[in-house]
Amino acid sequence: MTIRFRLSLIYSAILALTLFVFGVTLYSIQAQDTLNSLEEDLIASSKRITDALLRTNILAILNEGSQQNPPPPRPFNEFSGEAPFEGLQEREVVRILDPYGNLIVSPFGRNEDALPMSEESLNALIENKTQFEIADVSGENMLIYNRTIELRGELAYIVQVARSLTERNRSLNSLGTTLMVAGAVTTFIAFGVGWLYSGFALKPIERITQTAHEIGKAHDFNRRVEHPGKEDEIGQLANTFNQMLASLEEAYLKVEYSLEQQQNFVSDVSHELRTPLTTLRGNLGLLKHEPPIPIEEKEDILSDMVDESDRLIRLVNELLLLAHADAGRSLAKEEISLLSIIKKAVRQAKYLDPSRKIIISIESSLSIIGDQDGLNQVMMIILDNALKYSRGDIKISAQEKDDKVEIQFEDQGPGIPSDELSHIFERFYRPEDNRTIPGFGLGLPIAKSLVEGMGGSISVQSQVGNGTNITIFLKQIKTANYN
C-alpha cells in the first residue's frame, strides 16, 4: 500500500467519521425536536379540551359507571353541538375514559376505538401524573398523551389526545437516507480529492527519489535536488539530501583521489625500484661475463652494486616509515622540551655538512606534546632538505601562538616556484631543477604524516630567490596536567 493511498484513505476515514458523528447528532436533534413539538401540541390540545369540557355540561350528562360495569362508549356526534368537540382538529385523536380506564367517549362509540394504555400509565394517572406513550394503533404509530380531569378533588375522567407519527417518521427516514447518501458521496469525492492532493504534495518526494536513482545509477554526486517550494518538511528533506550528496561527493572524491594516489604511488615506486634493480642485474651479468672482465672493472662494478643496494635500502626504509605513518601508528603523547629536541637534531645535521651554520632562536621554557622519535625524524627531514637544496645559514625559531607553538625553519635557497609549491607534499614529487640531487621525494610527505599524527600541522611558504620557510604548529604544554 503506497503512502499516497494511505493518506487518501486516512483523509476519507476522518471525513467519514466526522460526517457520521454529524449525521447521528443532526438526526437525534431532529428526532427529539419533532417529538418535543408534537408533545407540546398534544399538551396544549389536551388542556384546551379539558378546559372546554369543564365549562360545559358534557361531564354532567355522562353516565357514571363502575369498574365492573362501565357504561358503553358514546359517539362524538351526540355532543357535536358542544364547543369542545366542534374545535377538534382532524389530525388529533381524542378519547375520554372513566377513572378506571374504560372508554366512554369515542368517534363512533365503539369499544374497538379505545387507544392503548399500559398498567403503569393508568397507575401514574391515578396518582395525578400525566403520561406520554408511543403505541401502534391499527398499524399506525401514534404518540398518545394521557391527562386527568378532577372533580371535587377526585379523579373523574381521563382525556387521551393522540397524533400520528407517520409523517414525522417518514421525514426522519428521508433525513437519514439523505444523510447516508450525501455522506457516502462526499466521502467518495473526498477520497478522489485526497488522492489528487496527495499526489501533488508527494511530487517533490517523487523527484527526490528519481534524482537519487539517477545519481546512484550514474555515480554523479555533484548533482543536487531542486526544491523551489517553501522551507517546509519536504524542503528540509531536500536540504538534508543535498547535504548528504555533498558529503558523498566529498567522500567519493577522496576515494577517487586516494585510488589515483595509490596508482601513482605504485607507478613511482616501480620506477624508483626499476633503476637500481636494472643496474644490479646488468652488473651481475657483467660479473658472469666470459671471459672474465679485468679486476679493476670488477671493483667498479662491485662499488656500483653496493651504492645501488644502499639506495634500495634507503628507499625501502622510507617506504616503511611512510607506510607506518599512513597506517596511523600509535605515536606517544608526552611532554617534550622543544629546545632539547631541536639541539639534538642540529647536532645530527652537523655531520651531514659541518661547514653550514644553523642558528637557533628558541626559549628554553617552551614544551610541546608529541612523540620524541617522530619529531626527531621530522626535524632531520627538514634540516636535510635545507642542507641539500640551499646555501647559507639556516634559522630555526619558535614562539607561542594561542595554545600552540609555531616552529619555523628558514633557509636561503633558490626558492620554489608557485606552480610547484602545491605539489611539495606529494609522494615522489621532485622539481625538475632538483632531479640531480639524491633523494626519492618522500621526505616531506613523511614529515607531514608524522606531524598530523601528533595532532599538528605543517605548511611551506616560498618565493623564487627568497628561500623557503617551513612552519610547524604543535600543541603547547603550559601546565603539568596534559593528556
Tens of pLDDT, residues 1-46: 677 788 788 888 898 899 999 999 999 999 999 999 999 999 988 8
CB-CB contact of 431 with 394 (8 Å): no
The predicted structure's pLDDT at residue 327: 57
Q: Which CATH number fits domain 3-172: 1.10.3720.10, 3.30.450.20, 3.40.1000.10, 3.60.15.10?
A: 3.30.450.20
In whole angstroms, what is the distance from residue 440 CA to residue 433 CA? Answer: 14
pLDDT band of residue 472 (cuts 50, 70, 90) is: very high
Which three cell numbers, joined as nine digits, stand for 83?
A: 364547543
Averaged pLDDT score across all residues of the chain: 80
CB-CB contact of 51 with 83 (8 Å): no
Mean pLDDT across 142-157? 86
Q: What is the per-residue pLDDT across 44-100, written as a single tens digit (0 to 9) for each? A: 888 888 887 777 766 666 655 555 566 677 776 666 666 666 656 556 788 888 888
The predicted structure's pLDDT at residue 480: 45
The amino acid sitting at 364 is S
The predicted structure's pLDDT at residue 259: 78
How many residues make up the chain in this entry?
483
The predicted structure's pLDDT at residue 430: 65
Mean pLDDT across 335-340? 89
Predicted TM-score of the model (pTM) = 0.48
- CATH fold, domain 330-475, is Heat Shock Protein 90 (3.30.565)
3-172 shares its CATH topology with 330-475: no
CB-CB contact of 370 with 474 (8 Å): yes
Q: What is the per-residue pLDDT across 238-282, written as a single tens digit (0 to 9) for each? A: 788 788 888 887 888 878 877 776 776 676 667 667 767 887 888
Q: Domain limits of the chain?
A: 3-172, 234-323, 330-475
The predicted structure's pLDDT at residue 481: 42
The predicted structure's pLDDT at residue 9: 84
Please report where in the chains the cell 628554553 appears, as a residue: 364
State the DSSP code for 436.
T
Selected residue with higher pLDDT from 324 and 349: 349
The predicted structure's pLDDT at residue 483: 40
The predicted structure's pLDDT at residue 78: 67
Q: Considering the domain 234-323, what is its CATH architecture?
A: Orthogonal Bundle (1.10)
CA nearest 370: which of 265, 309, 447?
A: 447
Q: Within 13 Å and on the Cβ side, how many CA atoms surround 306? A: 6
* pLDDT > 70 in the chain, percent: 83
Which CA distances in Å does 211 have to 4, 208, 222, 273? 19, 5, 12, 47
Selected residue with higher pLDDT from 317 and 139: 139
Long-range contacts of the stretch 147-153 (C-beta < 8 A, 24+): 147/46, 147/47, 147/50, 149/50, 149/53, 149/54, 149/59, 151/59
